[in-house]
Amino acid sequence: MAVEIYVMRHGETEANVRQILIGREDSPFTESGWQQPVEVARHLVGRDLARIYASPMDRTQRTAALVQETLDRPVPIELAQSIAEIDAGEFTGLSFPEVRSLLPSDAILGQFHYPGGESWRDVQERALEFVLGLEARHAGDAVLLVTHAGVIAGLVAAYLGEPIEQYIRTRFGHDFLGRIALNGGTLTSYEKVVGTVDSWL
């Protein structure tokens, strides 16, 4: 039986506004960051979620808690390291312009391995492995992933059968909610439910 997987990004942080690559570090929510998860969660009322899986970053845990409080019934939250933010290694804390200036001229962003950290392909592979494993646990269920823009981009690219390099510059907004169907070990559909999608870096 198919699994209905909803995916959303964490609320906006001060680092997001300042365009800082914080990776696995944390940053306080902006005023909007406290409101966005509540607005997104309203689109999940009545969806009969079986579980909320959240990246272990503080910003995603805060987001998941706000969603949980907004839903019409109790839904357990489980932390999932596989959908965590990229480990940006030595690039952690740099501004986007600084990141651009340090990337090799021939760098392919999806393949570039942050020194001391990961590549976006690494992120995609671990996230996809986790998502495909949900079918064994949640056949016939609906679940929510509270995660990060790069993780969402990797999953969308996997559904479309395109390399991560084609989608890693896509920024799924803090008001974004998407839905992915998983059936027979394959991502069979994807749609945006609500929110903004643009580009970054």
Burial-class residue 196 by CB neighbours within 10 Å (0-12, 13-18, 19+): exposed
**Percentage of residues in the chain with pLDDT exceeding 70?**
99
Amino acid at 56: P
This prediction's pTM:
0.96
| Euclidean distance between CA atoms 94 and 46, whole angstroms | 41
19-75 per-position pLDDT tens digit = 999 999 999 999 999 999 999 999 999 999 999 999 999 999 999 999 999 998 999
Cα 31 to Cα 21, 36, 53, 158: the distances in Å are 20, 9, 24, 33
Q: Residue 101 corresponds to which tokens in the numbers above?
A: 């200036």
User: Chain-wide mean pLDDT for the chain?
Assistant: 95
Confidence band for 200, pLDDT divided at 50, 70 and 90? low
Q: Which CATH number fits domain 3-199: 2.60.40.10, 3.40.1440.10, 3.40.50.720, 3.40.50.1240?
A: 3.40.50.1240
Region of poorest pLDDT, from 131-145, 155-169, 179-193: 155-169
| Euclidean distance between CA atoms 115 and 89, whole angstroms | 6
pLDDT of residue 110: 82
Question: Is 2's pLDDT higher than 80?
Answer: yes
Determine the average pLDDT of the residues in 96-100. Answer: 93
3-state secondary structure of 174: coil
Contact 85, 148 (CB under 8 A): yes
What is the CA 111 to chain-centroid distance, rounded?
18
Contact 153, 164 (CB under 8 A): yes
